[in-house]
Structure formats: C-alpha cells, structure tokens
Copies of this chain bind each other. A is one copy, B any other.
Amino acid sequence: MFPFEFHNPTQVIFGRGTTPRIGKATAPFGRRVLLLSGQGSARRSGLLDKVTDSLKAAGVEWVDLGGVRPNPTLVFAREAIGRFRREGLDAVVAVGGGSVLDTAKAVAAGARYAGDVWDFFTGEAEVGDAAPVTTVLTLAATGSEMNSGGVLTNEATQEKLHLSGPALFPRVSILDPENTFTVPRDQTVFGVVDAVIHLLEGYFNGSDPDLPLQDRLVEGLVQTLLEAADAALRDPKHYAARARLMWGATLALNGLTQAGTGNTGFPMHMLEHPLSALYDLPHGAGLAIVGPAWMRHASRQAPEKYAQFAGRVFGLHSGSVSERAEAGIRAFETWCQERGAPTRLPAAGIAVEDIPRIVPHIRRVAEVWGMARYTAPVIADILKLAA
C-alpha cells in the first residue's frame, strides 16, 4: 500500500425527503447566495421551488442563475463569477448534476481570486481560499458532491481541464435519490459508466499490484452499480436502486477507493476530456468509448488485474490470463453497448479519420496533468483501439 492522505470534510445528508434541509445547511455559510442550476429540469420538476422555500425559511437570500449546460463552459463560469462579485454574495448553492456542481466550484474559487479562474485549470495558480459551496445533487455520476475537483471546457481553446483544491469540498451535499427519479435512460447509463470508470482508474492504474483491500472495495462497488443500473432502467422510480447508484457514485470518487493505490493519473479521463470538448459528447458516453480502448492497451503489458476483474465482477473464469483479461473488458464494453452507450468512435459520430486531429488535444491534457508517457503515437494507438 502506498502512503496517502485522506481528508474529506464534506457533510453528506442522504435519503428520501432531505432536500428541504438545504436552507439550514447553507445558512451557517452565508446569508446571500448564488443559486446555480442547469438547463431547466430542476425548475420544471419543482425541485428548485423546494430549495428556495427552504432557503427562505432559513433566512437565506439568493440570486437565481440557471443555464449551466452539460460540458459546462469557462465563459459561463466567468460570467457567474462576475455576478457573484457584483452582488457581493457569500456562498454558492448548486442544484444539479456534475456540470452544475463543477461550475459552482469554479465560481467559488474564482470569486476569491484576483486573476482569471482558468489559471487554476492550467496549473498557473493553485486554489487557496474559496467561497463555501453546498449542493443538492440530481445525477449519480461525477462524485463532485463529495470531492474537491471540477471540470470545465474552454471553448475558445477547445480545452477541457480540471481544477481542484481542499477548499472546494462542498460543505454540505444533499443526496436525495428521489431527485434522480426523472433522470432519462441515457443519462442514467452515462452516469453509471462515469462512476465505474472512476473506480477503475485507480484499480487498473495503481502502481502497487497487491492491493486486496482497495480491489475488493472497487469490485463490490462496480458490481453494485451495474446491478442497480439495470434495476433503475427497468423502473426509474426504484428507490433502492437509485439510492445505490447515488451513494455508489459518490464513493467512487471521494478518495476512498483511490487511497493507498499510488494512483497518480486518470488516463481514461485524460483521453475522454478532449473528445467531449471537441464533439460535445456526454462525458460518460466518451468514457464508454475510450475506457475499453485504454484497458485493452494497458492490459497487454499487465493482464493479471484484468483477469481478476473478469472473474470477480463478471464471473468469467475460463481461459488463459490474457483471454480472461479480454473477456472482462469485453463484458464491460458489451454492458455499455447493450444499454445504449457508444463504445466505438463511429457510434458517437466521430470519424476514425479524425484521430490525428484529436491526438494533439489529448497530448495537451497529458502535459497539463504531467502524464509524459502518453506520447502522440501512444495516444493514437489507443484511439485506434476504439475505431
């Protein structure tokens, strides 16, 4: 096991009917807040009204700012930071999925920084202070509700990068599975793929090959997520299934399963971010494409862990180590495919001929993330596995 630090101060309030607690949970952090939301589903479903009722009851005033889109943009975040400053606000309340939460974190960091918020994404500045963020989550996927990171797309440069810092852990996150009952089928699938890949980034990318504790946590969570996804697809209002997806996705990227693995990179995310930046693809859809491709690439040199994955998660025990490794990757790929996620570039409308155009964008992420071994030829090889 590798040395690690684990410090996750987010307070999670989980369960049916917990949404009305957002007001009291937010009040200690500010009397005037930016209320951030997405493309309107929270407004239409009545969730936003529940939130504002709760804020009102707790004596918290808000400035309503909807319109965060999937693959949220730097431009929107900059405008929101301007608004936050002009209005002299104290905190951000984010109501939505990862896009809204990540934007909230960028606003929180940018509002307390004299320079441009993009500096945090390119590594030119580190997040020091940040305004407090509280959240009401509406999508089981990114884990942003209980971690200190966030991702934005800079449309001008076509870069999709992330910021992080201890000050960005949400102070309180309300996780009410009923708020995900209306998540459409494809978004449910993409969310699960995102969470599963978060788990597998550390599982397949740890530097220590002998991590039984972390392995079993990951295998158990992946099994649970895949099973619960099918239950939620059959019945979108299946509370227990939605609850497992929500808590499972949170645990997938709150530091728990990564702790001790020595994992220093997120290669599948490195490959995916430029795809969704360039083609405005849902992040989970992009991961269903580059995930299996990267796994095939990585399993060539060290198939053992992949064979273990095949056996423990999918019950595939026959054949050589390499055969079992491939069977496990294929099982995950098939799982995605059968539930409507694209698993090859063309299925997402990306021409294989585009690969040379995509590669430099991935190189750029590799540089910013310090993953030097992903040279242009290596990246091209991996993308060809997704052709």
- The residues of A with any CB-CB pair to B shorter than 8 Å are 1-18, 177, 210, 212-213, 215-217, 219-221, 223-224, 227-228, 240, 243-244, 247-248, 251, 256, 259-260
Contacts and interface: CB of A to CB of B under 8 A. Distances in A.
Contacts of A2: 15
* Number of identical protomers: 2
A172 B210 CA distance: 27
A165 to B, nearest CB: 15
A136 to B, nearest CB: 15
Contacts of A248: 213
A3 B20 CA distance: 14
A139 to B, nearest CB: 18
Nearest to A213: B224
A120 B215 CA distance: 39
Contact of A14 (B10, B215, B244, B259): B259
A14 B4 contact: yes
Given A4-B14, A213-B220, 13 more contacts: A1-B244, A5-B11, A5-B14, A6-B12, A8-B8, A213-B221, A213-B248, A216-B223, A216-B224, A217-B217, A219-B220, A251-B256, A256-B256
Most chain B beta-carbon contacts within 10 A, residue among A18, A224, A256: A224
B1 A240 contact: yes
Given A213-B244, A244-B1, A7 B10 contact: yes
